């Protein structure tokens, strides 16, 4: 088996586990769904499950790490003359584009938004991933601009942008918006955090 075929098989197995978990979480509930049942539904062994995911809640955050990698890559390969704002906007567009193709299209994001409110383990995992992602992106921003932005300023800006995007996504998902509306809400939130969009405020 070539390396390419092996990787495709690995990705198919991973996606089968995600699909099985989403179906079981939806039909039987999060607490009642075990790792063994997810593996059985995906027609793999429990051992295979743990080769792909450390724990049950990690299935719901399956694409988070790769999404941060996309953002870090976008920052690290900034074009000459690109400002900090331009670079972060492009990084967010990459992240939101990936979410559009994965979590938003297969229902994973909507399910995660519902479960976060009631599952402490998932809440803790999400906070951990968010903080780890912010640290990675802050480091990438500092490296990309070679000391022209302080670590404090970079951390504040990255935290504001990622926090805004995640908060907007949760609100949009919880009110039942369509996938394209969630995507638009995330991009709008990034522009607000970056100061490139005014907020419409009704005075009364």
Going by C-alpha positions, the residue among 13, 33, 35 that lies closest to residue 23 is 33
> Counting runs of H as helices and runs of E as strands, what totals does the chain give?
10, 0
Per-residue pLDDT tens digits for 138-194 = 999 999 998 899 999 999 999 999 999 999 999 999 999 999 999 999 999 999 999
Q: What pLDDT does 153 receive?
A: 95
* pLDDT tens digits, one per residue of 25-82: 999 999 999 999 999 999 999 999 999 999 998 998 888 878 999 999 999 999 888 9
Question: Running DSSP on this structure, what letter comes out for residue 44?
Answer: S
Residues 25-32: contacts with CB under 8 Å, at least 24 apart: 25/60, 25/111, 25/115, 26/107, 26/111, 30/115, 30/118, 30/119, 30/122
Alpha carbon distance 187, 193 (integer Å)? 10
Strands (DSSP E) found in 30-112: none
DSSP 33: -
Per-residue pLDDT band for 204 (boundaries 50, 70, 90) equals very low
Global pTM value? 0.82
């Amino acid at each position: 088996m070539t390396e390419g075929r092996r990787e495709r098989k690995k990705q198919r197995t991973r996606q089968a586990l995600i699909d099985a978990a989403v179906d079981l979480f939806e039909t039987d509930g999060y607490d009642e769904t075990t790792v063994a049942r997810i593996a059985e539904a995906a027609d793999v062994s429990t051992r295979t499950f743990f080769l792909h995911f450390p724990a049950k809640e990690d299935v719901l955050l399956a694409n988070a790490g790769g999404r941060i990698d996309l953002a870090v890559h976008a920052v690290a390969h900034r074009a000459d003359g690109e400002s900090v704002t331009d670079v972060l906007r492009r990084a967010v567009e990459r992240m939101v584009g990936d979410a559009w193709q994965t979590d938003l299209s297969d229902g994973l994001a909507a399910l995660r938004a519902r479960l976060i409110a009631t599952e402490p383990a998932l809440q803790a995992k999400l906070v951990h991933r968010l903080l780890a992602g912010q640290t990675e992106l802050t480091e990438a921003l500092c490296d990309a601009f070679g000391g022209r932005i302080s670590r404090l300023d970079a951390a504040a800006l990255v935290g504001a942008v990622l926090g805004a995007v995640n908060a907007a996504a949760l609100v949009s998902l919880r009110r039942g918006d369509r996938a394209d509306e969630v995507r638009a809400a995330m991009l709008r939130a990034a522009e607000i955090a970056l100061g490139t969009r005014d907020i419409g405020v009704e005075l009364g």
